[in-house]
């Protein structure tokens, strides 16, 4: 699993370890998915099932690449991006327990971008 740490100026004060700590157990669930060979299409369900509480996609926001935009709120940049399954799954981890799943090629009509809050 390739992990890329997003060190935008907003997060430099946290350092690499602080960013990893703030992403919590989600990283473990992604590692577990890799070990269990969870299929790319089942990855979001694997994470949400591990969360153990009811959750549904957030509504009202949009993405400009990996930047999450919600009307009236400041833009949110991911603290960490995890790329799995040769780029089929891209998971962006944001502050406040927010997780975005990007699936499929950007140009594909089947590509998805969904934000959840797992706090």
The Cα 90–Cα 78 span in angstroms is 12
User: Count of domains in the chain?
Assistant: 1
* Predicted TM-score (pTM) of this structure: 0.80
Kindly write down the DSSP assignment for every residue of 79-94, as one continuous string: SEEEEEGGGTEEEEE-
pLDDT value of position 80: 84
pLDDT in tens, 11-32: 888 887 888 788 788 878 888 8
Range of the domain at 31: 2-117
Confidence of residue 44 (pLDDT cuts 50, 70, 90): confident
């Amino acid at each position: 699993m390739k992990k890329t740490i997003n060190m935008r100026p907003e997060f430099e004060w946290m350092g690499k370890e602080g960013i990893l700590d703030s992403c919590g157990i989600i990283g473990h669930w992604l590692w577990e998915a890799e070990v269990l060979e969870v299929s790319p299409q089942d990855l979001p369900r694997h994470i949400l099932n591990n969360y153990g509480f009811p959750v549904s996609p957030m509504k009202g926001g949009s993405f400009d690449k990996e930047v999450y935009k919600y009307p009236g709120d400041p833009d949110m940049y991911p603290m960490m991006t995890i790329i799995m399954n040769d780029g089929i799954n891209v998971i962006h981890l944001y502050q406040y327990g927010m997780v975005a799943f990007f699936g499929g090629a950007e140009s594909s009509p089947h590509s998805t971008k969904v934000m959840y809050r797992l706090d």
